Amino acid sequence: MAQSSKLNTQKKGKLIIFSAPSGAGKTTIVKHLLRLNFNLEFSISATSREARHTETHSKDYYFISEKEFQQKVDNNDFLEWEEVYKGTCYGTLKSEVERIRNLGKNVIFDVDVVGGLNIKRYYGEEALAVFVQPPSVKELRIRLQDRSTETEEKLKVRLAKAEHELTFASQFDVVLINDNLEIALKEAEKIINDFLEN
C-alpha cells in the first residue's frame, strides 16, 4: 500500500496492547515487533518512579514527579493510569496515543494488566489486547531474580501482584504463553499480522 503524503487522507493507526505480569517477557516481545515492518510506534508511558540506570527519559518512559503526575490525573490527560505500587504510578497520555495515530502509524503498548484492559475498553475493535503469560509463577520468580533489580521484599510484592494479574488473562483478546521466547516471538508476529490485515 502506497504511503500517502497527505495526512488527512491517511487512515488512523490501530492499537496493539501487550500486558503481562512483571517478568513475563512483554517488553522483549514488544521490542522485537518494533524492529519489524508493521508500521508500529511505541506508546511511551508516563511514570512517577525513578529511572533505572538502563532507562532514558522520553525513550523508555516519561519520568515525572508525583506532583506532576497528579496534575495530569486532575486534568484528565490520561487514557488510563494506575498506582501500581505505593507511590509509584504509571499512565498512558491521550496526547501520546493520538499523536502516533494521526501519523497513520499503529500504536503498540507495553502496559500493566489493568491499564491494558482500560485501553481496550476505550478503543474497542480498533485495539487488540494481548496477555503475555509466563509458564508458571515459579518461572516468573526465577526471571525476576535474574534481573537483580529487586530486593527480596519487592520481589514478594511483585509475585503477589503477578498471581492476581494472571486471573485477568481471560479478559484479553489473545493469551500468548511465553515458555520458549523464539516460539513466542513468532506467534506474536502472526497475531499482529492477522490483526493488521483485517
Task: Tell me the per-residue pLDDT of 52-107, one tens digit each, with 9 for 90 and over.
Answer: 999 999 998 999 999 999 999 999 999 999 887 888 999 999 999 999 999 999 99
Residue 109 to residue 90: CA distance in whole angstroms: 13
SS3 108: strand
Integer CA distances (angstroms), 60 to 30, 44, 50, 54, 126, in order: 12, 6, 12, 9, 24
pLDDT band at 9 (very low <50, low <70, confident <90, very high): low
The owner of cell 485501553 is 119
Cell, residue 102: 494521526
Residue 4 has pLDDT above 50, yes or no: no
Domains in the chain, CATH or no CATH each: 14-197 (3.40.50.300)
pLDDT band at 22 (very low <50, low <70, confident <90, very high): confident
Mean pLDDT of the chain: 90
Nearest to 168 by CA among 123, 124, 133, 125: 133
Residue 8 has pLDDT above 50, yes or no: no
Considering only residues 3 and 10, tell me which one the structure prediction assigns the higher pLDDT.
Answer: 10
Residue 176 has pLDDT above 80, yes or no: yes
Q: Please enumerate in sequence order all residues whose Cβ is within 8 A of that of 2, keeping only pairs 6 or more positions apart, or say none.
A: none
Residue pLDDT, tens place only, 138-147: 888 887 788 7
